[in-house]
Structure 1
Amino acid sequence: MTFCMNTMASLLKALSGTLLLIALVLPNCDAHVQPRHAIRKHRPNFKPGPWKQAHATFYEGHTGTFGGACGYEDVAKEGYGLNTAAISTAMFNDGQTCGACYEIKCVNSQWCKPGQPSLCVTATNLCPGGSSGGWCDSPHEHFDIAHPVFSHIAEYKAGVVPVQYRRVACKKQGGIRFTITGNPYFNLVQVSNVGGSGDVVGMQVKGHNKLKWTTMKRNWGQKWETNCMMVGESLTFRVRGSDGRYSTSWHVAPRNWQFGQTFEGKNFKQRRRSKPRR
């Protein structure tokens, strides 16, 4: 009897160790179903924020160099054109602000263009502290604007100019773009060309078969990760902007999608205001 009990205890111990090993090896998939009422609840259009004070400089380079800390590879191909800017650490918010849009006007400088025209840019990079004579160090709010479009608001010879800016809605052509990279055990999805608030604060993915709604984590910038098995699944992505609005792109990637491919889904739209009844 004692021998049988000892044998049973040894078997249970071995089984426990095996189960623990399996738990460590299997992906920790954070499945989560978003309540329908939270998604369908009407939320207003993204509205411009208040005007604030900052400074602006410009930087040079071709389109492929403008991605940097936000994870974008080529801002021109990804829907942002050349109207882009690197923003200071105080505004970057650890990458959450990537994709946000700003209206900028040069003020109180002899180098401002006549009539104080506005320039709309998308935040696509980080202006690291100390890179522009301290302008990008905290707590300064600063824009380092792409060279080709800086001249819309000021003369190049100015170097640095005081500006007024405000957050505005992003108006994009086409849908939100999802670029999938990684490997079967680590998936990385870059989100770009986002309308509305422009930035992404939440991301989920769902397959057509085994993969249930799964919350993805921000890896860096606008790259989102999961170690859940996505290969062989028709993929649906759900994006949440900082204004609380959701956009769901159903089955945007087919079952036979490949790493390195980009798929275009549904974008945020600015809803037209209904005319009051007379």
Structure 2
Amino acid sequence: MSLSFWYPLLLTSLLFMQTLADTSCTDCLINSRASYYPNSDEQGTSVGACGFGSFGATLNGGDVTAASDLYRNGVGCGACYQVKCTNSAYCSDKGVTVVITDQGSGHNTDFIMSKHAFTGMAQTIDAAANLLALGVVDVEYRRVSCSYSNKNITIKIDESSGNPHYLAFVIWNQQGKRDITAVQLCETQNFVCKLLDRDHGAVWATTSPPTGPLSLRMLFSDDEGEDTWVVPPNNIPQDWKAGDIYDSGIQVTQ
């Protein structure tokens, strides 16, 4: 057969392979812009939309950020991203790893960082001052695994909770690159489970919590559509109250 017969088929195959490569590249750097909280201190905010509270200001050593599209209606809370500014005169090759703790946007940015995180992209102290003066910079970013050394996933009972009529809690210290997309509470005696609502950010809530000690079930989802239920060994005790903090006894590293 002639080359004219095979050429369209070859071209179609190459385009199909290129499409697969483009959609499967989960570690590719994405171009965007970043700014910082102009009225913040070195750390983040304690009133972020994710519901982390004061913990969110110091999380990850203060390298935290608000996000626009990456907030994903709260699903993105706690996700970690490597962010590198692209101005070679001021920016380091490594950049900074930030954790999403808030929602916000401005100047067509994907990230509004704490000052600590924003200056962490710089090569030197002088370069950091120049970045702050610019205010908004071009960046490249990609999602990376979160890492919290020697810490399990932690449950903080929200201050709005009142036993036994209303239970809300926020999930801290989630490692890896997967999202928590659903949460259930199960009675440990009869194994009746209740699917919770995402109240806001990383806060899950129910107006009619199950009774007795409660077993927690979390659904972890990855970019490839794989879902895995994780059941921590430690239960939430029957006498839970607002402000309590519980170690789940488990960590998810992937």
**Could you say whether these structures have the same fold, taking a TM-score greater than 0.5 normalized by the shorter chain as the test?**
yes
CA contact (8 A) 1:53 1:162 kept: yes
| CA offsets 1:40-62 (integer angstroms, 9 cap, x no match) | xxxxxxx9532101111112237
Task: Determine helix, strand or coil for the equivalent of 1:125.
Answer: strand
Structure 1 residue 234: Cα displacement: 1.5
Please tell me whether residue 73 in structure 1 is matched to residue 49 in structure 2: no
**Change over 3 Å in CA distance of 1:80–1:107 after alignment to 2:** same
**d(CA) in 2 for partners of 1:77, 1:85:** 10
Structure 1 residue 97: Cα displacement: 0.8
- Greater than 4 Å deviation, 4+ residue runs: 76-79
**d(CA) in 2 for partners of 1:247, 1:67:** 29
Task: Determine helix, strand or coil for the equivalent of 2:70.
Answer: helix
Task: Determine helix, strand or coil for the equivalent of 1:69.
Answer: coil
**d(CA) in 2 for partners of 1:98, 1:161:** 23
Bigger Rg, which one: 1
Percentage identity across aligned positions?
26
Q: Which amino acid aligns with 1:122?
A: V
Task: Determine helix, strand or coil for the equivalent of 1:267.
Answer: coil
Q: Which residue of 1 aligns with 2:95?
A: 118
Two-structure CA RMSD over aligned residues (Å): 2.4
Q: 2:220 aligns with which of 237, 241, 263?
A: 241
Q: Which residue of 2 aligns with 1:127?
A: 104
Structure 1 residue 246: Cα displacement: 3.3
Q: Which amino acid aligns with 1:255?
A: Q
CA contact (8 A) 1:187 1:225 kept: yes
Q: Which residue of 1 aligns with 2:85?
A: 106
Q: 1:49 aligns with which of 10, 16, 27?
A: 27
Q: Which amino acid aligns with 1:71?
A: G
Task: Determine helix, strand or coil for the equivalent of 1:195.
Answer: coil
**Change over 3 Å in CA distance of 1:77–1:157 after alignment to 2:** closer
Q: Which amino acid aligns with 1:256?
A: D
**d(CA) in 2 for partners of 1:147, 1:209:** 48
**Change over 3 Å in CA distance of 1:211–1:61 after alignment to 2:** farther
**Change over 3 Å in CA distance of 1:77–1:107 after alignment to 2:** closer
Please tell me whether residue 203 in structure 1 is matched to residue 177 in structure 2: no
Please tell me whether residue 267 in structure 1 is matched to residue 251 in structure 2: yes
Q: Which residue of 1 aligns with 2:192?
A: 212
Q: 2:238 aligns with which of 234, 243, 255?
A: 255
CA contact (8 A) 1:189 1:223 kept: yes
**d(CA) in 2 for partners of 1:85, 1:145:** 4
Give the TM-score normalised by structure 1: 0.68
Structure 1 residue 198: Cα displacement: 5.4
**Change over 3 Å in CA distance of 1:229–1:117 after alignment to 2:** closer
Structure 1 residue 78: Cα displacement: 7.5
